[in-house]
Amino acid sequence: MNKSKLILWLLALCLFACKPTTAQDDIINVDDQLETKHEEPKKEEEQTEEKKNKEKSEPKPQNKEEETTDETEGKKPDTKVEDNTDKPNEKQSLTLAEPAKRSPIFLLEFTGQKCLYCPSLSRLLKKKQERYGKQKYLYVALHSEERFSILPANLISLYSEEANRYGKDVKKPKGLPYLHYNSLREKPSDLPFTEMLLEPDLLDCQANAHLLPNKKINLELKTILRRDRQEFIKGKAVDILIWIMENDIIAYQQDSESKAYHTYPKHQHIFRSSLNTHWGEAYQIGQPYNRTFDLPTNILKAKNCEIVVIFLDHQSKMVLDAGCFELK
């Protein structure tokens, strides 16, 4: 009897020692593992901080030449420093245009004098241009629908049949206002507007536009393709299109935001005519351009005019670059 009791007691003791873990025990074990996992990166951060502190405490070399060689050894050259396309140095023979005379974003603002809501868009475009500058943001106002410009004979009409034709080229829907950008065809640019603002200019352009005594306009223009844009233009035929626009035209305008409703503001950036046919002419970037044009008969004050130079992809009619130059 004593032996059997002893055996039973030993068996009970073994079973108690080998008791399986409960679900609560499993949860505790998982929590412990998670805590250890969170502790590991903290230890790594502490190690990196200790390394930084050691580097700061170490004395720096007094010789400047040794210091620069140690920093640059084994590193790739800084492309931003070597890329001189935006800031040419003395070694380059680039003739840069004034920064305010170049623009990769070209906007067509289709508007009308009897369009109540068009002035709101015009004011917005003006603010945007003041913010970004003409080197990044250039717009031209085209009065393309005659029904929005039918006025009494004593008032100035800004309607243009040629502007109406450009409206048809871009498949402009009926109604105003309408905005189209970086294209003279139906399809606009593939890039989102915000990304277009970050795009580099295609070329550097310098131009002089002079009004001659016999009501002629002489345009002399030089372009230089940017080094980092050679692949972009490779294989493309380029056209040059010359427009003339007029500023400060005091003319009738309906405005929903005006108490008077009927106003006579100074109209800005008004398309007047194309000087070298509707689609322009073939042009090779880098070649000098010197042409003389007749001053359009619809110009009111030549001193208020600007010459708009547009570089187009010949096939797609996408605007590759554009610039604006004062008529002197």
Count the domains in the chain: 1
Is the pLDDT score of 179 beyond 90? yes
Q: What is the DSSP string of 159-186?
A: --HHHHHHHHHTTPPSSS-EEEESBSSS
The whole-number average pLDDT for the span 28-38 is: 35
Any domain includes 119: yes
> 270 is in which domain, residue-wise?
99-326
Q: Is 60 a domain residue? A: no
In this predicted structure, what is the pLDDT of residue 135? 77
CATH number, domain containing residue 316: 2.60.40.10
Q: Per residue in 57-91, pLDDT tens?
A: 554 444 444 333 333 333 333 333 333 334 434 33
Q: Residue 132 phi/psi, 5° resolution?
A: -95, -25
Looking at the domain assignment, is residue 31 inside a domain?
A: no
Q: How far apart are the first and last CA of the chain?
A: 127
More confident residue, 182 or 273: 273
pLDDT of 40 reads 41
- Assess if residue 15 is contained within a domain: no
CB 110 within 8 A of CB 179: yes
Q: Is residue 57 part of a domain?
A: no
Average of per-residue pLDDT values in the chain? 77
Does 30 map to a domain? no
Q: Residue 280 — very low, low, confident or very high, per pLDDT cuts 50/70/90?
A: very high
Please report whether residue 124 resides in a domain.
yes
According to the model, what pLDDT value does residue 53 have?
55
Q: Which residues on neighbouring strands pair with residue 217, listed in sequence order? A: 211, 293
Report pLDDT for 87.
Answer: 41
In a domain, 135, yes or no: yes
